[in-house]
Amino acid sequence: MSKLTESIADLKANAGQWQAFRTEGHCVVLAPPGSGKTKLLTTRVAYDLANRIPRPQGAACITLTNPAADQLRERITDLGVESRSTLFVGTVHGFAFRRIIAPFARAAGRSDAANLQVADPRLARRLLDQVVDRHFERHEKRERRLAKSTIEHNRKQLATDQQWLRSEQRIVQAGRKYEQELRQLGLMDFDDIVRFAVELVEGDETVRKALVACYPHLYVDEYQDLAPGLDRLVRALCFDYRTPVDLFAVGDPDQAIFGFTGTRPELLIELAARPGVTRVPLTVNYRCGIEIIRCANRLLADPDREITGQRSGGRVEAHHEPGGFSAQVNAAAQIVRTATASGTPLHEVVVLCATNTNCESAAAGLRAQGLPVYVRGSEYDRTPATQLIEGLAAWTTLGRERSGHRLSDLLYGWRDAMGNQWSKRGESKLVEKMLELRKKVDAPATQLIDDLELLGFTSALEKVRRGDDVASIGDMVVALTNGSLRGHTITELGERARNVDRIEVTTMTSGKGLEFDVVVILGAEDGVIPFFASAEGSKEMNEDRRKFYVSITRAREAVDIFYSGFTVTQYGTRKYNPPSRFIRQLGIIT
């Protein structure tokens, strides 16, 4: 039986999943963690492409972040889906730029959008800081913070002139100046991408018709994380005009954790309530042991929300470790050893921390204990370009089966990146290089990048105006030559594409969408999670609580949460921090 047939058979056994799977027209699935939302979505994509969407038509499968898109791609590939030029699996920003702005802006008369490069996000952030600094006095720290967050908020919400004018004049001026300076540099930032794409789709019927012809089906994972601008894009494609794209969206408002990007989880609820949309709730959590579900549910605003489990058992425990964070890491190492001694593979254990700094300390501490550690992309952003390089490295050194990468998919990624610089000859040379490198798996990873450069990889990305991808390759090269990945071989770079036999260490945010047998949470002090600035009852506090909820619900079997009762400041002084209030709310300490 193929994996797709098996997966369909699983869905058939669950009435809700089966209803959603068979829905014709728009369908929105609202469901808790582990209830099979991604399984349902990926199975629908695979089934639809095999049976309902004849070539040359395709589909767009989108989510918010690159790591989530990576997961989606992996799961879709695993179900046997073959690449096609009209199949897009990636982030919503990637879709907006690569599949809307790049091909259509010029033809639609938007030469302003057609000539701009996507800015390296760090450069855009620096530019905003500089512009705001120039508009405020040195001592006006609070005002500067407010100005930055207002500008970011307004840009993400695609605020109208009227909405902008509700803010202080200096904020409005700084916002305009920031945009002007970006344009003078020939750049657009991520918020511009959304705005241009929305304007193109809302304002041009030919663009809409072309998109519907290429991507008659739109699948959105983690819909609760889409900011209002992106939600407008989806609505414009699927509801507001006569040639609608079929929408299949899944999400969970209780897992909305990207408030800083302007998301409003209620948009998902509104979407599900629209006329013409079949709303399907799911209630069975297949992932977590029942005790984990019971505990996690105590964190919810609506603790009576109906969530049942399929797995018995499960354990959530809190541990007071008076020796501080490093003692927590050592205790975590012991938990890992106990788990592996009873047969749990290392890659079925995740260590989650609220901050990047704690992740780095945890990774260093676990390595010092002799444990192999996998850190999900902290040295460079996992953009489609760096993911492609990792994928090529993995395919070259580990082969098709072990790497999980098909050469044909990688070549589609190559074609997409090269844009109009792609040639059959260049592609044949790439394959030749990959086959040559199979004999040199211990060569430095930089050799692979040098080979790609000779084939014009970065200059093509520049020509297709993907400045964010170019910046991520630059960071990858720095990490491999002078940074923490110095000396990595092609094999080691390929191993970064997929975690095998290592403990995963990542932030609570990046752990979203993943699942493990054992979850260890470190640094669970009040002030860290929830963050000290999150006031009781505020939306920030609710978001911190959801982050904790998401973290706990990654586990199938066990959750171990550590706290010390204090943190150490950057000046080395101890600061009293009680255990996270969320541990109390779980009902496992008094």
Find where tokens 């009209």 sit: 86
Q: By rule CB under 6 A, what string of x and - marks binding of each residue 512-531 to ligand ATP?
A: -x-x----------------
Q: How many Cβ atoms sit within 10 Å of the Cβ of residue 7?
A: 23
Q: By rule CB under 6 A, what string of x and - marks binding of each residue 405-424 to ligand ATP?
A: --------------------
**Shortest spacing between CB 221 and ligand ATP, in angstroms:** 7
**Shortest spacing between CB 90 and ligand ATP, in angstroms:** 18
The type of residue at 494 is G
Contact with ligand ATP (CB under 6 A) among 17, 150, 154, 580 = 17
From the DSSP assignment, how many helices (H) and strands (E) are in the chain?
Answer: 27, 18
Rounded distance between C-alpha atoms, residue 294 and residue 519, angstroms: 16
**Shortest spacing between CB 146 and ligand ATP, in angstroms:** 34
The type of residue at 495 is E
- Which segment (9-17, 127-135, 270-278, 320-328) binds ligand ATP by CB under 6 A? 9-17
**Shortest spacing between CB 38 and ligand ATP, in angstroms:** 4
**Shortest spacing between CB 216 and ligand ATP, in angstroms:** 24
**Shortest spacing between CB 64 and ligand ATP, in angstroms:** 13
**Shortest spacing between CB 309 and ligand ATP, in angstroms:** 11
Contact with ligand ATP (CB under 6 A) among 16, 33, 265, 467 = 33
Write the DSSP assignment of 52-120 as a string of letters. Answer: T--TT--EEEEESSHHHHHHHHHHHHHTTPPP-TTEEEEEHHHIIIIIIIHHHTTTTT-HHHHTPEEPP
Contact with ligand ATP (CB under 6 A) among 14, 263, 403, 506 = 14
Contact with ligand ATP (CB under 6 A) among 16, 34, 58, 377 = 34
Is 324 annotated in a binding site? The answer is: no
**Shortest spacing between CB 311 and ligand ATP, in angstroms:** 9
- Which segment (34-42, 170-178, 368-376, 377-385) binds ligand ATP by CB under 6 A? 34-42
Q: By rule CB under 6 A, what string of x and - marks binding of each residue 259-288 to ligand ATP?
A: ---------------------------xx-
Q: Are 256 and 263 in contact (CB under 8 A)?
A: yes
Tokens of 483: 């940074």
Q: How many Cβ atoms sit within 10 Å of the Cβ of residue 338?
A: 11
Give yes or no for residue 376 binding ligand ATP (CB under 6 A): no
Q: How many Cβ atoms sit within 10 Å of the Cβ of residue 441?
A: 15
The CB-based long-range contact list for 101-107 (8 Å cut-off, 24+ gap) reads 101/193, 101/196, 101/197, 101/200, 102/419, 102/464, 102/465, 103/210, 104/200, 104/204, 104/207, 104/210, 105/196, 105/200, 107/206
Q: Are 490 and 393 in contact (CB under 8 A)?
A: yes
- Which segment (26-34, 150-158, 442-450, 524-532) binds ligand ATP by CB under 6 A? 26-34
- Which segment (13-21, 62-70, 147-155, 182-190) binds ligand ATP by CB under 6 A? 13-21
Total chain residues near ligand ATP (CB under 6 A): 20
Distance from the Cα of residue 187 to its chain's centroid: 23
Is 32 annotated in a binding site? The answer is: yes
Give the distance between the most distant pair of CA atoms in the chain. Answer: 68
Give yes or no for residue 546 binding ligand ATP (CB under 6 A): no
Q: 52 — phi, psi (to 5°)?
A: -120, -15
**Shortest spacing between CB 465 and ligand ATP, in angstroms:** 33
- Which segment (8-16, 117-125, 501-509, 516-524) binds ligand ATP by CB under 6 A? 8-16
DSSP classification of residue 50: H
Q: Are 312 and 290 in contact (CB under 8 A)?
A: yes
- CB of 427 or CB of 517, closer to ligand ATP: 517
Q: 165 — phi, psi (to 5°)?
A: -70, -5
Is 31 annotated in a binding site? The answer is: yes
- CB of 225 or CB of 252, closer to ligand ATP: 252
- Which segment (28-36, 91-99, 256-264, 349-357) binds ligand ATP by CB under 6 A? 28-36
Rounded distance between C-alpha atoms, residue 232 and residue 479, angstroms: 38
Give yes or no for residue 37 binding ligand ATP (CB under 6 A): yes
Distance from the Cα of residue 104 to its chain's centroid: 26
**Shortest spacing between CB 585 and ligand ATP, in angstroms:** 19
Is 547 annotated in a binding site? The answer is: no
Helix (H, G, I), strand (E, B) or coil at 264: coil
Does residue 253 have a cis peptide bond before it, meaning omega lies within 30 degrees of 0?
A: no
- CB of 7 or CB of 328, closer to ligand ATP: 7
Contact with ligand ATP (CB under 6 A) among 23, 35, 397, 510 = 35
- CB of 15 or CB of 368, closer to ligand ATP: 15
Rounded distance between C-alpha atoms, residue 115 and residue 108, angstroms: 13
**Shortest spacing between CB 12 and ligand ATP, in angstroms:** 8
Give me the half-sphere count of Cα atoms (radius 13 Å) on the Cβ side of residue 233.
32
Is 38 annotated in a binding site? The answer is: yes
Contact set for ligand ATP, span 288-347 (CB under 6 A)? none
**Shortest spacing between CB 403 and ligand ATP, in angstroms:** 21
Give yes or no for residue 10 binding ligand ATP (CB under 6 A): yes
User: Which positions ≥6 away from 29 have C-beta within 8 Å?
Assistant: 20, 37, 40, 41, 249, 250, 251, 280, 281, 282
Is 33 annotated in a binding site? The answer is: yes
Give yes or no for residue 39 binding ligand ATP (CB under 6 A): yes
> Smallest Cα–Cα separation from 22: which of 42, 40, 49, 3?
40
Burial classification of residue 537, based on how many CB atoms lie within 10 Å of its CB (0-12 exposed, 13-18 middle, 19 or more buried)? exposed
Give yes or no for residue 11 binding ligand ATP (CB under 6 A): yes
Give yes or no for residue 247 binding ligand ATP (CB under 6 A): no
Q: By rule CB under 6 A, what string of x and - marks binding of each residue 476-515 to ligand ATP?
A: -------------------------------------x-x
The secondary structure element, H or E, covering residue 318 is: strand 315-320
Binding residues for ATP: 31-38
Residues forming contacts to ligand ATP in the complex (CB under 6 A) are 10-11, 13-14, 17, 31, 33-39, 252, 255, 286-287, 513, 515, 553
Binding residues: 31-38
